[in-house]
Amino acid sequence: MRYSQLFGKTLREAPADADTANAKFLIQGGFVDQEMAGVYTWLPLGLRTLRKVEQIVREEMDALGAGELFMPSLQPKEYWEKTNRWEGVDILFKLKSQTGKDYALGCTHEEVVTPLARKFAVSYKDLPSAVYQINTKFRDELRAKSGVLRGREFRMKDMYSFHTNQEDLSAFYHRALEAYKKAFARCGLNVKVVQASGGIFTENVSHEFQALTDAGEDMLVACPQCDFGQNSEVATRKPGDACPKCQGTLAQMKGVEVGNIFDLGTKYSDAFDFDFTDEEGRKRRVLMGCYGIGTTRLVGAIVETHHDGKGVRWPKTVAPFAVHLVSLAGKDGEDILNVAEDLHADLERSGIEVLWDDRDASPGRKFADADLIGIPLRLVVSAKSLAEGSVEWKERRDADARLVPQQDILEAVQTFVHE
Ligand code: ATP
Ligand code: MG
């Protein structure tokens, strides 16, 4: 893809009110545009990364055997009254139609999925089952802040599971917990698995997945060596204590919650009288679990944990492109452009995602933009590199560049992309 043809470009300056690295670099890099506080357009560059993150999440949910569906954001008041959440949830956006009918804009989907599942899961033979979607959520957050970490309109993967008994729900819950760890690891994110407050005192278990960053709002007591963590508010352990899981020493840390999972018990099946018929023909209540991952927040958390002073340093798995090709067409302009054009075509033919900065701009500008955008590998075709029959190779994580002979470049890129 030619950068000159990409809709949405880097900005010379970051917005003055950018309070976090993700707000700064995602806006300045041309990944997102802020429409208003907490509401963003995902520009073509940012959408490529968001899609990769969502595809990783999708693959891990599919591996659990969950079915993907797509539920409405426009939801009837009656469902929200059944769960006492029409009045009970302060962040719920409410709308009135021209005929005076009330609707909620979905901030979550238990109120849709429970009556939906009730239509299909009538017998023990229909259970267990699990469904998920990746959809937009609306929340009237008092304070939208920290770029895409806390928005009023954002994307979330939400999964719901339905079971005939507690053992079955617990088994699925633990498989989901492992799937979450895998999904975050594939996105290049280290997470702490935090058992949430309710879990200690009540029967129903819940876990949060916390990415460590000072941009987060949650205080944790966590282990620097393994994934153990507790929320400071309810922690049974304190900084300096030995980690109960490994040899580490617990420390105070800040995190952002990128996902959570809940054992809901019969909370929502009670509200909607969701029963199934068991083997003996008796009616019994369905047990439910719910499992969320904020996918737009996840992109923000990746930036918070993968950047330097110049811009983003995307993990390969979620980078918008694999290669950032820069042509510096000075006085030998035509030759350089031809070599770059051929390389661009060769890379695309090999299925390698390449962004070619083909603009008539200064080397300084192009290099600064490449660092800001943060694609893992930068290739430069210049008079200097051509004089050596080479292409300059620089990885975003490294300080230094080196020359790779032109005839070896394709193979080297392929090795780099797949290693
Ligand atoms: P938080 O405590 O951060 O407000 P939450 O407990 O309200 O999160 P859930 O309602 O369970 O979170 O939502 C599931 C996931 O959606 C969260 O783990 C988080 O990743 C994401 N999420 C929640 N609120 C927002 C928001 N305002 N903007 C972006 N992502 C969000
Ligand atoms: Mg919240």
* pLDDT tops 70 at residue 248: yes
For residue 312, tell me if it sits in a domain. Answer: no
Q: Which residues contact 134 (CB under 8 A, 6 or more apart)?
A: 54, 57, 58, 68, 155, 156, 157, 295
- 257 alpha carbon – ligand 1 mean position (Å): 7
Token pair for 18: 């950018």
The pLDDT of residue 384 is 94
CATH of the domain at 382: 3.40.50.800
- With beta carbons less than 8 A apart as the criterion, state whether 92 and 86 touch: yes
365-378 pLDDT tens trace: 999 999 999 999 99
Give the number of other CB atoms < 10 A from CB of residue 273: 12
CA 325 to CA 34: how far, in whole Å?
A: 28
Q: Is residue 318 domain-resident? A: no
Same domain, 132 and 62: yes
Residue nearest to atom 21 of ligand 1 (CA): 294
| Residues 272-314 pLDDT 10s | 999 999 999 999 999 999 999 999 999 999 999 999 999 999 9
Structural domains counted in the chain: 2
- CATH number of the structural domain spanning residue 52: 3.30.930.10
Find all residues with CB under 8 Å of 151, minimum gap 6, and list them: 38, 39, 40, 139, 141, 144, 296, 297
Query: Does a structural domain hold residue 317?
Result: no
Name the residue at shortest CA distance from atom 29 of ligand 1. 150
By three-state DSSP, how is residue 302 classified? helix
Whether 233 and 381 map to the same domain: the answer is: no
Co-location of 272 and 404 in the same domain: no
- Whether residue 361 sits in one domain with residue 219: no
Distance 209 CA to ligand 1 centre (A): 11
Whether the CA torsion 299, 305, 306, 308 is positive or negative: it is: positive
Domain shared by 346 and 403, yes or no = yes
Q: Which of 177, 248, 191, 198 is nearest to 220 (CA)?
A: 191
Q: Is 150 in the pocket of ligand 1 (CB under 6 A)?
A: yes
pLDDT digits (tens, 9 = 90+) for 124-179: 999 999 999 999 999 999 999 999 999 999 999 999 999 999 999 999 999 999 99
**Total-model pTM:** 0.97
Domain end (from 305, 332, 363)? 305
Q: pLDDT at position 106, please?
A: 98
Co-location of 110 and 215 in the same domain? yes
301 and 340 part of one domain: no
Which residue, by CA, sits nearest to atom 8 of ligand 1?
Answer: 257
Residues of the domain holding 398: 323-418
Task: Show the DSSP H helices in 33-188 as ranges.
Answer: 44-63, 77-82, 110-120, 166-186
Longest dimension (CA), the chain: 85
For residue 359, how far is its CA from the centre of ligand 1 (angstroms)?
40
Same domain, 209 and 290: yes
Omega before 239 within 30 of 0, i.e. cis: no
Token pair for 294? 């904020």
DSSP 3-state assignment of 209?
strand
In the reported structure, the alpha carbon of residue 345 is separated from the centroid of ligand 1 by a whole-number distance in angstroms of 42
Nearest atom (ligand 1) to Cα of 262 = 11
> Are 217 and 332 in a shared domain?
no
| Domain-embedded: residue 341 | yes
Closest ligand (CA of 150): 1
Residues 340, 258 share a domain: no
Q: Which of 305, 337, 357 is the last residue of a domain?
A: 305
Which residues fall within 8 angstroms of residue 419, CB to CB, at 6 or more apart? none
Q: In terms of domains, do 73 and 119 share one? A: yes
Q: Identify the domain boundary among 278, 305, 332.
A: 305
Whether 310 is covered by a domain: the verdict is: no
> Is position 315 within any domain?
no
User: How distant is the alpha carbon of residue 42 from its chain centre?
Assistant: 13
Residues 358 and 217 grouped into a single domain:
no
Ligand positioned closest to the Cα atom of 137: 1
Nearest residue CA, atom 9 of ligand 1?
292
For residue 201, is pLDDT > 50? no
User: Is 151 a member of any domain?
Assistant: yes
Orientation angle between helical segments 44-63 and 295-305, nearest 10 degrees = 110
Q: What is the rounded CA–CA span in Å between residue 190 and residue 193? A: 10
Ligand 1 touching residue 54 (CB < 6 A) = no
CA distances from 211 to 227, 245, 303 (A): 10, 18, 11
Over its C-alpha atoms, the chain yields an Rg (Å, rounded) of: 25
- For residue 299, tell me if it sits in a domain: yes
